[in-house]
Structure 1
Amino acid sequence: MMSSHPAVVLDLSANGVGIIHALSRKGIDVYAFDTEGPYSKGKSRLATCGICPSPLNEEEELLSFLKKIAMEHDQKPVLYAGADDYVVFISKYRSVLSQYYLFLYPDHSLIMDLLDKKKTYELALKYNIPTAKTFFVENEEQLDEAITQLEFPCILKPVYGHEFRKHVNKKAIHIQNPIQLKEIYPIYRKFGELIIQEIIPGDNQCFYKVATFFDEDLELLALFTLQKNHQFPAQFGTGAHIVSKRIPDLVDAGVPLLKELALKGVSMIEYKKDPRDGQYKLIEINPRFWLTHSLTGHSGVDFAHQYYLYLTGQRPSPKINQTDGVQWIYLVRYFLTYLEKRKKGEMTLKDFFHGLRGKKVFALFALDDPMPFIRSTTSHLWNAWKRKRRSD
């Protein structure tokens, strides 16, 4: 295998560390960067890691930084991004960065539309994709009107999640009643546009993802589907325990949609199955590697490596047949989810240990690279302890 092209990964969360592990174990030289906070937790011994300027408020500095990194190598590096901020930055400066790096993204306007929950909702309507009942509110009069049509509890979500999380580290705010909504809305509105959405019933196992890798000509080079078992936080969070599972109905629905949208490169669409009508309802579409992508390599698909092979001209064969039943576990988040669900009688210790049986891959735990796991676990447990103290 030709591996003279290095890989550069922007992101040192579990997403980025998963890319590092997938590539470095194939003999590829990996360089990984992030801003100071994530770098301190995620730096890996399997890559040359460092701190980089922020894609949010140091764009020119980051552009110069990346040019310098690329010019240190004889071959163009393959550029990976594990977070929305880096995707937007790379896409925005693609004409310059493409002179130094290999990467594949859809049109910039499509990327920005998919990060905008209003535009994503409009796409769902355009393509007749079922979705949660959604309200867009710009003033108090519209808020009052929405309240008359809402069922409570409901959720308050940012239109631009990556921008909102600069100020508030939440994917969504759970709203119990109209009084709370009227009190909470102006507080969070200061940090960006918001939408109000019904809560689709069903537990964590009602969430599914379809992931694709389309090449420049929109030929499918990788396909993967999965089901969540647990997420953290349990109500509105990210994956903690996932299983590889082929869902033909979602393949039939999701793959043509992503191709129709011309989502070149790696992308993922998330659905939640509504037990009221059995419909899979759109949650979001991401034009990038997603948190649990490291499950794919252990299930016979390996998105990160397919991406590398294609961009370095090695013409990989399509990988569309996956191994089902492989589990992906973010161990500390799975444990904290267990503690949360145990209080509500939704999970027992026996259930927790049962989830550790069978073929599995851990998000961060690795004997050849132990420190990202240790630092992440310490940080999660410390933050959980601080939250408990505040609530006592």
Structure 2
Amino acid sequence: MNHDHPAVVLDLSANGIGIIRSLARKGIDVYAYDTEGSYRKGKSRLAECDICPNPITEPNKLLHFLVTIAKGLPKKPVLYVGSDDYVSFQSRYREQLRPYFLFLIPEPEMIETLLDKKETYKLAVEHQIPTPKTFFLEDISQLQEVISEIQFPCILKPSHGYQFRTKLNKKAIRVEDAAQLMKDYEYYQSIGEVVIQEEIPGDNRCFYKLATFYGEDMKLLASFTLQKNHQFPAEFGTGAHIESRKVPELYTLGLPFFQKLQLKGIAMAEFKRDPRDGVFKFIEINPRFWLTHSLTGAAAIDFAYLYYLYLTKQKFTATNDFKEGIKWIYLVRYFLTYLEKRKEGKMNFVEFLRGLKGEKVFALLAKDDVMPFVRSSISHLWKAWRKRRKE
């Protein structure tokens, strides 16, 4: 294979680190950037890393920054993005970026829809995809009507998660009763638009994901399914312990939906299996690489590398075949999740150790690139200690 084209990665979380490692270990030159805080924690020895302007508050500066970098490289680089704020930037400035970078993403209108949970749920309902019961309020006076229809506990979710989290780092808020909903809705709505949603019962193992890679012509080039075992925080969080798992029902449900939406490039949809009826209920779609994508490499269907080969016009065999039972572990988050669940009697140390057995890939721990793991672990443990002291 030819690896002459460099790669530029916008994201230095575990997501971006996974992309860097996949490409750099194959001899591809990688340049990786993120805002200052993420750069300090995530910079990798396998890439040339630096601080970049903020995609939300300084988009024009970021555009100039990227164009300058691309002009200095010997060949047009493949552009990778690992978070919603960078996806939004890439979509809005796609025409200015195209002369300098190789990338494949859905149309601008679809990107904007998928970054808005309210619009995404409307889209799912329109295409008859099962979803949790969800309410969108035009006015707070409609709250009483929602209270009469929804079952408690329910949850509040930001419509634009990446924008909401710049002000308050919460993925979702559990609401126990009507009185709390009256109080919390008005408060969180003042921070950013939120939706009210039924809470589907079931533990972390009820969450599944379908990931796809479609070409420009919407030919399916790769697909992958996985099951979540643990997340951090345990209640509403992101993956801490994941496993590759073949789930035929997700292909039946998700692939026709993705094709109708014309989700070319990389995309991932999350579903939660409702234990009450066994139905997979739609949660969200990310039109980008997702946190646990490095599991695909360990399972022999490396999305990051296939994306590189496709955009540099190299041949490979389209596939949905992968190894089952491979684990992806974000070690510090898995440990902190264990501590949370141990207090509630939901997990013991033997179960924690059992989760480390078998074939696996770590989100950050690596012999050839140890510092992202060290810095992330220190940061997570420090935050957990401070939180415990406040309690």
Q: Normalising to structure 1: TM-score of the pair?
A: 0.99
- CA offsets per residue over residues 267-289 of structure 1, 9 Å max, x none? 01110000111100000011000
Distance 2:74 2:31 in 1: 15
Name the counterpart of 1:44. 44
Deviating more after overlay: 1-10 vs 148-157: 148-157
Distance 2:120 2:4 in 1: 39
Identity of aligned residues (%): 60
Distance 1:95 1:20 in 2: 25
- CA offsets per residue over residues 179-198 of structure 1, 9 Å max, x none? 11111122211121111111
Name the SS for the 1:242 alignment partner.
strand
Name the counterpart of 2:329. 329
Name the counterpart of 1:179. 179
Distance 1:12 1:286 in 2: 17
1:1-392 equivalent positions in 2, closer than 5 A: 1-391=1-391
Distance 2:273 2:222 in 1: 24
- CA offsets per residue over residues 100-131 of structure 1, 9 Å max, x none? 00000010100110111111111111111111
Distance 1:284 1:348 in 2: 31
Aligned residues: CA RMSD = 0.8
Distance 1:213 1:303 in 2: 7
Length, aligned pairs only: 391
Distance 1:315 1:54 in 2: 36
Distance 2:130 2:85 in 1: 28
Distance 1:317 1:22 in 2: 18
Give, as a single letter, the amino acid of the residue that structure 1 aligns with 2:158.
Answer: P
Give, as a single letter, the amino acid of the residue that structure 1 aligns with 2:267.
Answer: S
Q: How much has 1:303 moved relative to structure 2?
A: 0.1
Distance 1:319 1:54 in 2: 36
Distance 1:319 1:375 in 2: 36
Distance 2:252 2:154 in 1: 30
Name the SS for the 2:112 alignment partner.
helix
Distance 1:16 1:211 in 2: 17
Distance 1:99 1:10 in 2: 18
Runs of 4+ aligned structure 1 residues displaced above 3 Å come to: none
Give, as a single letter, the amino acid of the residue that structure 1 aligns with 2:226.
Answer: L
Q: Is the 8 A contact 2:22 2:304 kept in 1?
A: yes
Q: Is the 8 A contact 2:129 2:253 kept in 1?
A: no
Q: How much has 1:319 moved relative to structure 2?
A: 2.7
Q: How much has 1:138 moved relative to structure 2?
A: 3.2
Unaligned runs of 5+ residues in structure 1 are none
Distance 2:182 2:134 in 1: 17
- CA offsets per residue over residues 220-264 of structure 1, 9 Å max, x none? 111100000000011111000000001011112111211121000
Distance 1:124 1:79 in 2: 29
Give, as a single letter, the amino acid of the residue that structure 1 aligns with 2:359.
Answer: K
Name the SS for the 2:357 alignment partner.
coil
Distance 1:240 1:23 in 2: 23
Name the SS for the 2:229 alignment partner.
strand
Give, as a single letter, the amino acid of the residue that structure 1 aligns with 2:354.
Answer: H
Distance 2:221 2:261 in 1: 16
Deviating more after overlay: 128-137 vs 36-45: 128-137
Give, as a single letter, the amino acid of the residue that structure 2 aligns with 1:12.
Answer: L
Q: How much has 1:325 moved relative to structure 2?
A: 0.4
Deviating more after overlay: 132-141 vs 151-160: 132-141
Q: How much has 1:139 moved relative to structure 2?
A: 2.7
Name the SS for the 2:281 alignment partner.
strand
Give, as a single letter, the amino acid of the residue that structure 2 aligns with 1:205.
Answer: R
Q: Is the 8 A contact 2:9 2:19 kept in 1?
A: yes
Distance 1:62 1:215 in 2: 27
Name the SS for the 1:230 alignment partner.
strand
Distance 2:76 2:368 in 1: 27
Distance 1:154 1:125 in 2: 19
Name the SS for the 1:50 alignment partner.
strand
Distance 2:80 2:164 in 1: 23
Distance 2:328 2:258 in 1: 24
Q: How much has 1:375 moved relative to structure 2?
A: 0.3
Give, as a single letter, the amino acid of the residue that structure 1 aligns with 2:345.
Answer: G
Give, as a single letter, the amino acid of the residue that structure 2 aligns with 1:241.
Answer: H
Name the SS for the 2:191 alignment partner.
coil
